[in-house]
Structure 1
Amino acid sequence: MSGLPKLKNPLLFLSIGIILLFTLVVFFATEASYIVIEQASLWVRAYFGYYYLYLGLGCVLLLLGVAFSPLGKRKLGKPDERPEHSLWAWTAMLYSAGMGAGILLRAVQEPVFMQQNPPFPSNLEPEILALEFTFYQWGFTAWAFYGLFAMVIGYALFVRKKKVLVSSAIDNTITNKLARNGIDIMTIITTVFGLIAAIGLGTAQINGGLNHLFDGDFGLGTTLLLATVISSIAFYSAWQGVNKGIKVISKFNILVTLIILLFVFFASDMGAILLSFAKATFHYVIDFVPMSLAIGRYDPGMGFLTDWTFYYWAFWLAWAPFTGIFIARISRGRTLRQLLLGVMIIPSLGTFFWFSVFGASAFELIESWGSYQNEFGNVFSSIFVFFEHYPFATVLNFVTIFLLISFLVTSVDSAVFVLSMFTDKGKQHPSKRHRLLWSVFVLLATMALLVLGNVKPDIDVLQAVQKLLIITSLPFALFMVVMTAIFLFEGIKNLKR
């Protein structure tokens, strides 16, 4: 028994117990659970959707303010300490954890959808508006949510010498142990459901790619096998740790992604892509505030916001604690200014160029066809359909499937590592027992929900899990304001010393 985590660890066993209980309730009362989740998610988006918008804009402005303030000079670590990871390795790890497979999932489908269904009337060409709005949903705001948690947790970890726990950021002000444990349990549960949704979506896209390539009908068995392979590799990576596992795979992911990106870029109209990238980025920057507030002619309407922006903001918020904590963990030796500007600007610009390459190239294809029959409408197969119009299509499709698996691995391994830090008393180097436990539990929870989705074909369980993230992100959206206020108060107070 000495090799198992101690039963006295309430954070570990309460979290697992709550998730197991939820899974059992959903299994035995599937339809009722789905209805409750659906109604609750609609309620959150209806009553707190605009709050999410204001919170997102507030995070961007706040992080810029902190970055250029005297507080931005504060180093996460000793004053003379050098960054633990190179800029290349650091960027690769934060991007793989924060976005990863999502950019493959939406590379073609989202810009084309926005072109065919403009979010609001505009004097811009539909293609530029489509890219601008896609940038908006994947840009500064998403990374500001991550950056806020990275800033607060990084400060608590490397300046105040606290444990790697969300509750560590507020323990001087909120001293009630029950309340602090509740915050950490909420973080763990949200992270686990976020992982299940990510693995489910990723395996669905891989299935879509395999079915497209082989004109097959790969079903549940293939999905379960993919989930097992991804979780097994992720466990090995998390077992090896940040430097030997997570960093190596993350750098590989970004290298392969760049190769695919450059191949499509050079095989397409490079001038049109660069012009679209420049114009859409320019308009995104100047329109950022009114788009963030959805005011005047920049208001897409409640229906569009509910289906897209509110959902995206809730999804980024749900991932913010785990991703932010992981970014904080790998940011030792950087100043808050380097951390915040790096997190918001570098991956955002990379994402903008990615969507410009795939979006502008897809627009060019549609124009050459003369009409659009929703060829890129399926989110799980759109990128594979797109590659069919390029040289070495089969190679590109197989590399994309491989990259999807690899990106999912880096999302899962970094999340397993963070979950292990949480439940192993907030240690920066959690025990391998915890890494094994979380790897196995995440796999079992994912498999249970995938099986349930086939047992109840009339209920889209993965979609329900995504909607659940919208519900579980609300406490974080409210807690972030308190956490930020405490951080600013303590940070400014320490500057005066």
Structure 2
Amino acid sequence: MGLLLFFSFFLYAETLATYNGIESLSLWVRNYFGPFYLYLGLGCVLLLIGIAFSSWGKIKLGLPADKPAFSRLEWIAMLYSAGMGAGILLRAVQEPVFMQQNPPLATAVSADIIALEFTFYQWGFTAWAFYAVFALAAGLALFHKKLPVATSNTFATLFPIKTKSFWNNNFLLFIDVLTILTTIFGLVAAVGLGASQIKGGLNHLFNASLDYRIIIALVVLIGIFSLISALSGVNKGIKRISTLNIYCTVALLFFVFLQSDMLLILKNFLYAFYRYVVDFIPLSLAIGKYNPGEVFLTDWTYYYWAFWLAWAPFTGIFIARISKGRTLREIIIGVLLIPSLGSFFWFTVFGQSAFELIASWNSYEGEFGNVFTSIFVFLENYPLQSVVNGLVILLLMSFLVTSVDSAIYVLGMFIDKGNPNPSKKQRWMWGIILTIFSVGIVLLGHAKEDTNVLTAVQKLLIITSLPLSLLMIVMIGIWLYDISKIKKA
């Protein structure tokens, strides 16, 4: 915690110097380790598919008699809200349109399908595979080994907790500190981006020129609501807000879908999904005609993989916390497939509808180019603008709240000796620290006139995700060894 406050001080006192240091280090990481992220993502997806269809898939997370604590809808709502959240609103229109106007691949299919396929790739199986790997490894330590909630406990087979040595103690401490730091960096990144989109939406709707200070106010407000939700617990605040998010998201989705070319959307959804599955391996390896180039990979794919990795520890542990009583097969299918399909349909509805609008205009002047305002510009073409835009802002706030309250809960578990229901003191403390650090990220994002929160966070996450990604390989090996023993028993 002292390390976080120390780093927060530098964000406030030496903002520009901190930004320059992150910029230089992130360039080094991208140059030398960018392709490694691709290989790791592909490996996680293939591993999980293999386990789901093997006899190991029948192993239950917990005792054979354990039953799930939440209905399937509640379970999916919570894991989706914690794992994806406001990002689907941030990129709903901007990303598919960018891909259509700047096709990353040169294949025989149309620009529309390429745009949807590549958007699926960046929001699909790989992202959720990172989450699922952490969820299953943490669930094994929590429910089978009866160990406290901590990322270091997924390494207990290799480094037994009871074995007291300088190497053991310091290595396990390093893992937990790294997890906490990576979790916080990933989370505050999302908060900064989401709050920036809310500010962009308010500027657009009211033709205002609000500066970054409104983002700071929004971050503080999100922190307050998140703390209230976290203090209420998983079964009350977190579950209820997550379920509300899903209902509101589905309502917005069908509001657009029912006023668009529904048959074309369904057709392109199915075809783009087919192309995504067929091309998944060459896309994941970035080989031949499926290599969009180093500049594109650096700006998009490497950044996304770093972002998902940064979110993987706390999202995975939270998913494990709510998945007791479910089999590995059900968890893998539920985490890998269902949220991905939901995101794919979401991006097809908004993306294809935006493509049709651009076609009707006969020209495109970058109307959807601003990541923070694109969805509001898009919704100007639909009725009930005030109601729908209000719903988007409400969704942005509530998605961010469910992400932050989940993180408060998980970080509280880490510090409260692995207690699955951390004390309210811990939740208060983490709610305050996350809010302070999120404000620091906003200041970092405005260190230079030509930068924003998005570029600052992109550079930071690539750095903080690297050591965690290297440790994932060891964690996966230990996890496979442990579940093989469970099966034999």
**TM-score, normalisation: structure 1:** 0.95
1:95 has 2:87 as partner: no
Could you tell me whether the CA contact under 8 Å between 2:148 and 2:419 is conserved in 1? yes
Matched letter for residue 433 of structure 1: K
Residue 462 (structure 1) shift: 5.8
Residue 464 (structure 1) shift: 2.4
433, 440, 446: which one aligns with 1:448:
440
- Say if 1:463 and 1:17 are closer, same or farther in 2 by CA, change over 3 A: farther
Structure 1 CA distance, aligned partners of 2:278 and 2:442?
Answer: 43
Structure 1 CA distance, aligned partners of 2:372 and 2:484?
Answer: 47
Structure 1 CA distance, aligned partners of 2:435 and 2:272?
Answer: 40
Matched letter for residue 85 of structure 2: G
1:281 has 2:273 as partner: yes
Which residue number corresponds to residue 18 of structure 1?
Answer: 3
Could you tell me whether the CA contact under 8 Å between 1:112 and 1:359 is conserved in 2? yes
Structure 2 CA distance, aligned partners of 1:380 and 1:397?
Answer: 13
Identity %: 59
Structure 1 CA distance, aligned partners of 2:122 and 2:372?
Answer: 19
266, 277, 297: which one aligns with 2:289:
297
1:131-280 → structure 2 map (5 Å cutoff): 131-175=116-160, 176-280=168-272
Which residue number corresponds to residue 370 of structure 1?
Answer: 362
- Say if 1:43 and 1:496 are closer, same or farther in 2 by CA, change over 3 A: same
Residue 196 (structure 1) shift: 1.6
Deviates more, 1:63-72 or 1:178-187: 63-72
Structure 1 CA distance, aligned partners of 2:235 and 2:414?
Answer: 19
Structure 2 CA distance, aligned partners of 1:478 and 1:382?
Answer: 36
Which residue number corresponds to residue 412 of structure 1?
Answer: 404
Matched letter for residue 110 of structure 1: E
Which residue number corresponds to residue 479 of structure 2?
Answer: 487
Structure 2 CA distance, aligned partners of 1:133 and 1:243?
Answer: 37
Count the aligned residue pairs: 482
1:380 has 2:365 as partner: no
Which residue number corresponds to residue 29 of structure 1?
Answer: 14
Identify unmatched segments of 5+ residues in structure 1.
1-15
Could you tell me whether the CA contact under 8 Å between 2:61 and 2:323 is conserved in 1? yes
Could you tell me whether the CA contact under 8 Å between 1:194 and 1:466 is conserved in 2? no
Structure 2 CA distance, aligned partners of 1:129 and 1:234?
Answer: 38
User: Deviation digits for residues 281-329 of structure 1, max 9, x if unmatched?
Assistant: 0000011011111111111111111111111111111111111111011
Matched letter for residue 98 of structure 1: G
Structure 1 CA distance, aligned partners of 2:444 and 2:331?
Answer: 41
Structure 2 CA distance, aligned partners of 1:455 and 1:482?
Answer: 37
Structure 1 CA distance, aligned partners of 2:398 and 2:15?
Answer: 32
Deviates more, 1:450-459 or 1:154-163: 450-459
Structure 1 CA distance, aligned partners of 2:14 and 2:187?
Answer: 22
Could you tell me whether the CA contact under 8 Å between 1:135 and 1:352 is conserved in 2? yes
Structure 2 CA distance, aligned partners of 1:440 and 1:158?
Answer: 30
Could you tell me whether the CA contact under 8 Å between 2:189 and 2:441 is conserved in 1? no
1:331 has 2:291 as partner: no
Matched letter for residue 468 of structure 1: L
Cα RMSD of the aligned pairs, angstroms, is 1.4
Residue 221 (structure 1) shift: 3.7
Matched letter for residue 442 of structure 2: L
Matched letter for residue 32 of structure 1: A
Which residue number corresponds to residue 426 of structure 1?
Answer: 418
**TM-score, normalisation: structure 2:** 0.96
Could you tell me whether the CA contact under 8 Å between 2:8 and 2:436 is conserved in 1? no
Structure 2 CA distance, aligned partners of 1:239 and 1:344?
Answer: 29
Could you tell me whether the CA contact under 8 Å between 1:167 and 1:183 is conserved in 2? yes
Structure 2 CA distance, aligned partners of 1:29 and 1:275?
Answer: 52
SS at match of 1:308: helix
Structure 2 CA distance, aligned partners of 1:274 and 1:33?
Answer: 47
Could you tell me whether the CA contact under 8 Å between 1:143 and 1:348 is conserved in 2? yes
Could you tell me whether the CA contact under 8 Å between 1:421 and 1:429 is conserved in 2? yes
- Say if 1:449 and 1:294 are closer, same or farther in 2 by CA, change over 3 A: closer
101, 114, 118: which one aligns with 1:129:
114
Which residue number corresponds to residue 108 of structure 1?
Answer: 93
SS at match of 2:90: helix
Which residue number corresponds to residue 6 of structure 1?
Answer: none
Matched letter for residue 84 of structure 2: M
Structure 2 CA distance, aligned partners of 1:446 and 1:211?
Answer: 21
Could you tell me whether the CA contact under 8 Å between 2:94 and 2:374 is conserved in 1? yes
Matched letter for residue 142 of structure 1: A
Structure 1 CA distance, aligned partners of 2:295 and 2:56?
Answer: 40
Residue 41 (structure 1) shift: 1.1
Residue 496 (structure 1) shift: 1.8
Which residue number corresponds to residue 37 of structure 2?
Answer: 52
Structure 2 CA distance, aligned partners of 1:130 and 1:446?
Answer: 32
1:75 has 2:67 as partner: no
- Say if 1:92 and 1:366 are closer, same or farther in 2 by CA, change over 3 A: same
Matched letter for residue 293 of structure 1: L
Matched letter for residue 100 of structure 2: Q
Structure 2 CA distance, aligned partners of 1:49 and 1:64?
Answer: 24
Residue 447 (structure 1) shift: 2.3
